[in-house]
Amino acid sequence: MECGNWIDLYGDAILKPWYEMVNKSPWVEENRRWLKVLPKSFPKTLNYPEVPLFEVCDQAALRFRNNISVCMILQDRKYSYLEMKYYSDQLASALRDHFNIGKEVSVAIDTWNSPEFVFSLFGVNKTGASCTLINPLLTTEDIEYTINDAEIVDTIIVDSKVYPKVKDIKKLKNFIIAGQEEIPGTINFWKLIRAHKPKPPRVEIEPKEDIAALIYTGGTTGRPKGVMLTHYNLVANTLQCAYTGQHPLQARSMFGRGVTLITLPICHISGYVMLLNAVYEGSMLVMENTFDPKYICEAIQWYRVTRFPVVPTILVMLINFKEIANYDLSSLTLVGSGAMALAPEIANKFEELTGLKVVQGMGLTECCAAVLSNPIWSPSLIKPGSVGIPVLDTDVKIVDPVTTEELPVGQEGELWVRGPQLMKGYWKNPQATEEAVKNGWMRTGDLAVMDEDGYIYLSGRLKDIIKYKGYKLFPDEIEAKLYEHPAVKECAVLGIPNLVSGEEIKAFIVLKDEYQGKITEKEIINWAKDKLGPIKYPRMVEFRESLPKTLSGKVLRRKLREQEMQK
């Protein structure tokens, strides 16, 4: 498809063929258990338009032109949807004219959440190039690995505070500094785009083939792998998020009214897809680079935030924030949690404090994030401890990890996923792609159980299983129980090699402030033994001031394991 074609993603003439009330989904097998949970008024499938990803931005500019698109809290910067399109057009023109950037190349973006980041995501795509999103917290070595592996063109859009990490990377020659700072030897983002007219190049985009974003995902071993997400993948998942659980006409009636707070980093797939969803729906996107509960509560109260995507770490901070009752959080209609297992105790405490149920879901970088979600349309259908049912046009099954045969209800196995959001593959790694994708199904590596209604319950990772005296134990289950102890603020559990038992269970615990120095490791162990029984309780407990986490707040068991091995 040629860029610049104005396709009315919102108009009735185009919208009507999008959703099917009669025809079945081409991705989902008939008679799946969760389909009976869905009201008959919901569409059975969507016909996804094959358009470039940046059309989501451009069409929002047409429909919500004067609405605020991006707002930075602490910097007090606000931009309209028309400005989002205008500045991304200017950037595309500058990248083409100044750096000769076009198709078949990728531009690195290594910044914290910012308006410049948002404009860059769409501006780079308008040249035909893909975006390689890099975590600002990475070391120079890891950033250089990503840039070399992704075969980045010699241009990077980078935050001024991250620039010292990348300035000596040999492959990079052009440094575009996101923000107002001017650094010798670099190019200021705003000076660059203001020197160019908002006339993006017209290039041929094949939405199902061309990569829009290259996002690196880490594993338990080895170097991170680049996940190739096409324009079609990301547009499809954006629409899946918008229309899962509601009729398209009902959803559209709310467009332009929402406010989404994103503190999750948009260099991570969770923050990225929530950004796309907010833009598609014309929501005001309130962003910040902090997990500080005070700023979060102030933002929710001041901007009347309606949607707040989180990870369990953020919820832990909020429920331990003693002043939370002083803030008006009544505008919230959805708090969605993902990235890692959410202990029921945390969800219950948040509901006690706010009156709002946390909607737990699950996503994968390889599937543009959204795969499973508890029913957002009916709190009564939310099942504690479950990551929910598949989003629209997504099929899942539980299989035996060895035989790959589909397992019956209630039996534990590996979770497999398929749908239009499934990645094109791993960058320059056909072997890893072949191992992960089988006949259109993504092997997630997650162990799970499906109940009678089709709800999925995660029980752990295949590689995280603790093997104690022949028993297979799951860290998520043990961690969920430890969170019930009044002294536990955060925790992580893993297996430590042991010559006698195979592996010994060890818990790493961050205590709440009021329990510091007032409770011992032995007391925690005895309490856990009473609650978990003689097999599952941790034999070792280590108190820590903090736990290693990803930029999105997910606890890194892998890092803890590496630290233990170094001992």
- Cβ pair 342, 349 in contact under 8 A: no
How far CA 346 is from CA of 313, 332, 362, 485, in Å, comes to 10, 18, 17, 11
Average pLDDT over residues 532-547: 92
Query: Which residue in the block uniquely carries the two structure tokens 């329990």?
Result: 515
Q: Using one digit for the tens of pLDDT, what is the confidence trace for 176-201? A: 999 888 899 999 999 999 999 999 99
Q: Per the domain annotation, does 263 fall within a domain?
A: no
For residues 117 and 403, give the distance between their C-alpha atoms in angstroms, rounded to a whole number: 44
Closest to 237 measured CA to CA, from 336, 364, 337: 364
Q: Out of 11-25, 274-288, 349-363, which region has the weakest mean confidence (pLDDT)?
A: 11-25
Through-space distance between the first and last CA atoms of the chain, rounded to whole angstroms: 56
Q: What pLDDT score does 220 carry?
A: 38
Q: Using one digit for the tens of pLDDT, what is the confidence trace for 403-462? A: 999 999 999 999 999 999 999 999 999 999 999 999 999 999 888 999 999 999 988 777
Q: Per the domain annotation, does 450 fall within a domain?
A: no
- Cβ pair 301, 308 in contact under 8 A: no
Give the chain's mean pLDDT: 89
Q: Using one digit for the tens of pLDDT, what is the confidence trace for 230-277? A: 999 999 999 999 888 777 777 777 888 999 999 988 988 989 999 999
How far CA 158 is from CA of 108, 116, 134, 185, 289, in Å, comes to 8, 10, 9, 13, 15
Q: What pLDDT score does 28 carry?
A: 96
For residue 11, pLDDT over 50 is answered with no
Provide the number of structural domains found in the chain: 1
| CATH code for the domain of 539 | 3.30.300.30
Q: Per the domain annotation, does 538 fall within a domain?
A: yes
Q: What pLDDT score does 74 carry?
A: 76
> What angle do helix axes 231-243 and 55-63 make, rounded to 10 degrees?
50
Q: Per the domain annotation, does 473 fall within a domain?
A: yes
Q: What pLDDT score does 284 carry?
A: 96
Average pLDDT over residues 337-358: 85
Q: Per the domain annotation, does 408 fall within a domain?
A: no
Q: Using one digit for the tens of pLDDT, what is the confidence trace for 119-171? A: 999 999 999 999 999 988 888 888 999 999 998 889 999 999 999 999 999 99
Q: What pLDDT score does 2 carry?
A: 37
Q: Per the domain annotation, does 503 fall within a domain?
A: yes
Could you tell me the residue range of the domain that residue 499 belongs to?
A: 464-566
For residues 476 and 168, give the distance between their C-alpha atoms in angstroms, rounded to a whole number: 41
Average pLDDT over residues 349-378: 90
Q: Per the domain annotation, does 494 fall within a domain?
A: yes
For residues 139 and 196, give the distance between their C-alpha atoms in angstroms, rounded to a whole number: 34
For residue 342, pLDDT over 70 is answered with yes
Residue 422 corresponds to which tokens in the numbers above?
């499934």
Residue 426 corresponds to which tokens in the numbers above?
């791993």
Q: Per the domain annotation, does 12 fall within a domain?
A: no
Q: What pLDDT score does 218 carry?
A: 62
Q: Out of 40-49, 124-133, 142-151, 296-305, which region has the weakest mean confidence (pLDDT)?
A: 40-49
Q: Which residue has the higher pLDDT, 312 or 130?
A: 130
